[in-house]
A and B are shown apart, each in its own frame.
Chain A
Amino acid sequence: MPLNWKSGGVLLGVVFFLAVALVKPIGVSTQFVILDGILWNAVDPSVVEQSAEGYSSPNAYLDKSGGKYAKSVANPLNYSFVFVLAMMLGAFLSTLARGGLSPEERRAPALWRQNYGNNPWARNATAFLGGFIVLYGARLAGGCTSGHMMSGMMQTALAGYIFAAGAFAAAIPTAMLLYRKEA
């Protein structure tokens, strides 16, 4: 059972506060680009170029803002990339502590099974498609639920409000259409 919303909300708020008090606001979706860059760079080392002025890339996106993404690709042991790996460690330990997930739940979530049945491949294909749209959109927006919605609105950033308006305007009708049967 998940935490009560009052204790869960305070806990999550304290984590976001500690991040900005000690280092910087939390963000995740950039690291998908960094991992792409690391994989791409492993196949084609010309993707990141290092010179006396710093890092650059023939790819305009990795090269933007003075090559800061190119720099992270060349140095994966940076704060933001390690942060996402640590998130996975934290979630793994938390799941272990609450006894793990059932085999059915590991294959597909209950709400999906209730609406679309037990075939895991239909679920996997949907998750893949969803992932593509989510990360394309997050990179276009310059942030995701963590960076724009949570960190952004917490700092009263205009961009955070614009992002949240777009995200919920699409997400609520879509979820109402897709998940009609309650689980």
Chain B
Amino acid sequence: MSSILLAILIGAAFGATLDRIGATNPSLIGRMLNLTNLHLMKTILLAIGTGSVLMFGGQMLGLVDVGHMSVKTAYIGVFIGGLMLGLGWAVSGYCPGTGVCALASGRRDAAFFIAGGLLGAAAYMLSYPWWKASGLLDKIGGGKVTLGAVPSSGYEGLTGLPGDVLGLVLGAGFIAIAFALPERLIPGSGAAQPAE
């Protein structure tokens, strides 16, 4: 039962945070992806870096249970699926988590996103045997690996580097990129005046 309580507390905090950073607003997703406003990109990079530093730092101090890590398998389908998700993300302005939160925030188009999503997930359920047989779900690069082996995580490292130190360094790197990125990468065109 305590796991359900944690689901409610962490889930609600996550949903509220996604809304407060603007990730439930497809306009902000679109402006991040067309590189005209990187505010949300800076937020996401800072979040990955902060999470990484806290988690690996906590592990090294013995405060965080390494056993809670859960690393997914690498295979060619991860890249193909990533391309598809990216396409649909740009088209709709929603990803699965922000889509359900956007519906809760009152956006009606998000209901259509979720209906399409349920149908897309069902289509994958039916086509799964074909993907399995294609070999595109076979593991690459060792499968469930981290970039360096994290002590007592049970996952192998892609390289021989110490995984926890590497995690701290990469975390710091994400934070540095978040600070270094400009507010926009595509210069505003002279024509981009407010709508009349």
Q: Do A and B bind each other?
A: yes
Residues of A within 8 A of B (CB): 2-3, 5-6, 8-26, 28-29, 31-33, 35-36, 39-40, 59-62, 64, 77, 79-80, 82-95, 98, 100-101, 105-112, 114, 120, 123-172, 174-176, 178-183
User: 10 more A-B contacts (CB under 8 A) besides A12-B47, A129-B91, A133-B120?
Assistant: A2-B39, A9-B49, A14-B50, A20-B70, A22-B10, A87-B101, A111-B26, A134-B120, A153-B52, A171-B87
In the bound complex, what is the Cα–Cα distance between A106 and B28 (angstroms)? Answer: 15
B176 interface residue (CB < 8 Å to A): no
CB-based contact A29/B96 at 8 Å: yes
CB-based contact A18/B124 at 8 Å: no
**In-complex Cβ contact of A13 among B50, B65, B81, B150 (8 A):** B50
In the bound complex, what is the Cα–Cα distance between A31 and B69 (angstroms)? Answer: 20
**Which of B52, B121, B158 has the most C-beta atoms of chain A within 10 angstroms of its own C-beta?**
B121
CB-based contact A79/B91 at 8 Å: no
CB-nearest residue of chain B to A163: B82
In the bound complex, what is the Cα–Cα distance between A86 and B96 (angstroms)? Answer: 14
CB-based contact A156/B52 at 8 Å: yes
In the bound complex, what is the Cα–Cα distance between A131 and B102 (angstroms)? Answer: 13
Distance (Å) between the CB of B135 and the closest chain A CB?
Answer: 14
B60 interface residue (CB < 8 Å to A): no
Q: Contacts of A105 on B, CB cut-off 8 Å?
A: 107
Q: Contacts of A182 on B, CB cut-off 8 Å?
A: 31, 36, 188, 192
Residues of B within 8 A of A (CB): 3-4, 6-22, 24-28, 30-31, 33-36, 39-40, 42-52, 54-55, 58, 64-65, 68-75, 77-110, 112-126, 128-129, 131-132, 141-142, 144-148, 150, 158, 163, 166-167, 170-171, 174, 178, 186, 188, 192, 195
Given contacts A127-B113, A171-B86, is CB(A166)–CB(B81) below 8 Å? yes
Distance (Å) between the CB of A7 and the closest chain B CB?
Answer: 9
**In-complex Cβ contact of A136 among B33, B108, B120, B141 (8 A):** B120
Given contacts A21-B68, A131-B113, A134-B120, is CB(A158)–CB(B15) below 8 Å? no
- Counted as pairs of residues, one from A and one from B, with CB atoms less than 8 Å apart, the total is 525
CB-based contact A92/B54 at 8 Å: no
CB-based contact B26/A159 at 8 Å: no
Q: Contacts of B97 on A, CB cut-off 8 Å?
A: 26, 28, 84, 87, 144-146
CB-based contact A132/B55 at 8 Å: no
CB-nearest residue of chain B to A148: B72
Q: Determine chain A's interface SS by DSSP, over half rule.
A: helix
Given contacts A136-B123, A144-B85, A156-B167, is CB(A101)–CB(B105) below 8 Å? yes
Given contacts A61-B125, A128-B116, A134-B120, is CB(A12)–CB(B34) below 8 Å? no
6 contacts between A and B (CB under 8 A): A23-B7, A127-B109, A131-B92, A135-B118, A145-B95, A156-B163
Distance (Å) between the CB of A157 and the closest chain B CB?
Answer: 5
CB-based contact A150/B47 at 8 Å: yes
Distance (Å) between the CB of B111 and the closest chain A CB?
Answer: 8
CB-based contact A91/B129 at 8 Å: no
**In-complex Cβ contact of A138 among B85, B105, B150 (8 A):** B85
Given contacts A28-B96, A139-B121, A170-B90, is CB(A16)–CB(B51) below 8 Å? yes
Q: Contacts of B119 on A, CB cut-off 8 Å?
A: 131-132, 135
CB-based contact B112/A171 at 8 Å: no
In the bound complex, what is the Cα–Cα distance between A105 and B128 (angstroms)? Answer: 37
Q: Contacts of A160 on B, CB cut-off 8 Å?
A: 72
CB-nearest residue of chain B to A129: B116
In the bound complex, what is the Cα–Cα distance between A136 and B54 (angstroms)? Answer: 32
Given contacts A87-B12, A87-B15, A178-B90, is CB(A128)–CB(B113) below 8 Å? yes
